[in-house]
Structure 1
Amino acid sequence: MGIKKNDTVSWNTSQGATEGKAVEKRTKEFTFDGQKFKASDDDPYWIVESSKSGKQAAHKESSLKAK
């Protein structure tokens, strides 16, 4: 997919599309904000930061679109 740290990305939320930046790629199982995620080299997750709220969230790389 080719997302790199600090890239501007977008993703879908219940409120619609949101934009922010890719902060950190995770390729091993991790816990974020009280939730467990099963990331792997084949199915990585990114910690993203919303440009609107500044809040961070974890999303599968496959659900992100690079801008």
Structure 2
Amino acid sequence: MTNSFRKGDRVSWKSHGGEAVGTVQKKLTSDTEEAGRTVRASADDPQYLVKSDKSGGTAVHKPSALTRVHD
């Protein structure tokens, strides 16, 4: 089952330095340029733009790479 996230959701993901925590900025449902790269996304295969709490940087991840964080 695919997770569905909304703007503002707190999530975690694996990064080069271990685990990162941040916030979903938006759901991507079409091919676009985000976070410095071309993103292939569709309504059936969305990706999410997330912003790291620690670095302030953005990244794009598939839903399977994200885990909801409950504060």
Common topology (TM > 0.5): yes
Name the counterpart of 2:40. 38
Instruction: Give the alignment of 1:1-67 within 5 angstroms.
Output: 1-67=3-69
After TM superposition, what 4+ stretches of structure 1 lie above 2 angstroms from structure 2? none
CA distance in 2, matches of 1:33, 1:65: 20
What amino acid does structure 2 have at the position aligned with 1:33?
Answer: A
Q: Identity of aligned pairs, percent?
A: 37
* Structure 1: tracts of 5 or more residues without a match: none
* Structure 2: tracts of 5 or more residues without a match: none
CA distance in 2, matches of 1:3, 1:24: 9
Aligned 8 A contact 2:4 2:63 in 1: no
TM-score by length of 1: 0.89
TM-score by length of 2: 0.85
